[in-house]
Chains A and B, each alone.
Chain A
Amino acid sequence: AQKVTQAQTEISVVEKEDVTLDCVYETRDTTYYLFWYKQPPSGELVFLIRRNSFDEQNEISGRYSWNFQKSTSSFNFTITASQVVDSAVYFCALTLPLISNFGNEKLTFGTGTRLTIIP
């Protein structure tokens, strides 16, 4: 079975500070996908990124960056120069591909990290 751990339940930082959200995952499968979703107070889950297990290259998108390290089974998310609009709950998730021999393509979510940016 898959497991995703987000040890940070809540984080508060002052606006313009950098913040890193941790995500550690467990899976026996060698092929899998990792995701980050943002859930603002409105409730909708917004897709941020998908990363497959064979691509360890870090990714940057504006103020967002992701650090994928298979050696430590981590997929951490950093927000640079945080803004109040970044306040939300962030979920890390994992899924096996549809071709997996285990036949399980459900999303396994972490418990989420509530990020509050203080103006």
Chain B
Amino acid sequence: GAVVSQHPSRVICKSGTSVKIECRSLDFQATTMFWYRQFPKKSLMLMATSNEGSKATYEQGVEKDKFLINHASLTLSTLTVTSAHPEDSSFYICSARSGTADTQYFGPGTRLTVL
């Protein structure tokens, strides 16, 4: 149990385009989902927390207009990187948690490369 998927696993796009990443909880209802960014050989940096049906809470320094998060259902959250630039290239990982559970289960990550 507790499987989280992400799609796509890799994406390469041109500068200025928008990219959408999906995060799905496959066998549980995720009331809360988290989006992280990870630079090479670094730890995970929390970008935002989203609860189903409400607006995401962004961490300090994360541009909400740049990184649009939607958590429309209990099994799906999306992260859209708008007008992507090379500095947005990174590994993006989502995690999901159900109800009052304290364990976050992570997706396999999405490697974004902006040319």
Q: Which residues of A contact B (CB under 8 A)?
A: 33, 35, 37, 42-47, 50, 91, 95, 97-99, 105-107, 109-112, 114
A43-B91, A47-B2, A98-B102 known, 16 other contacts, Cβ within 8 Å = A35-B103, A37-B106, A43-B109, A43-B111, A44-B107, A44-B108, A45-B44, A47-B103, A50-B103, A105-B102, A107-B34, A107-B104, A109-B43, A109-B44, A111-B42, A111-B43
In the assembled complex, the CB of B2 is this many whole angstroms from the nearest CB of chain A, namely: 7
In the assembled complex, the CB of A86 is this many whole angstroms from the nearest CB of chain B, namely: 18
Q: Which of B42, B46, B106 contacts A44, CB < 8 Å?
A: B106
Residues of A within 8 A of B60 (CB): none
Residues of A within 8 A of B93 (CB): 43, 45
Residues of B within 8 A of A112 (CB): 42-43
Contact (Cβ within 8 A) B109 A107: no
Nearest residue (CB) in A for B110 is A43
In this complex, how many residues of chain B approach chain A with their Cβ under 8 Å: the count is 21
User: CA A47 – CA B2 in complex, angstroms?
Assistant: 10
Q: Which of A47, A99, A107 contacts B46, CB < 8 Å?
A: A107
In the assembled complex, the CB of B104 is this many whole angstroms from the nearest CB of chain A, namely: 6
Residues of A within 8 A of B103 (CB): 33, 35, 47, 50
Residues of A within 8 A of B100 (CB): 98-99
Give the residue among B100, B106, B109 with the most A Cβ atoms within 10 A. B106
In the assembled complex, the CB of B33 is this many whole angstroms from the nearest CB of chain A, namely: 13
In the assembled complex, the CB of A22 is this many whole angstroms from the nearest CB of chain B, namely: 15
User: CA A98 – CA B9 in complex, angstroms?
Assistant: 31
Question: Which residues B47-99 have CB closer than 8 A to chain A?
Answer: 49, 91, 93, 95
Nearest residue (CB) in A for B108 is A44
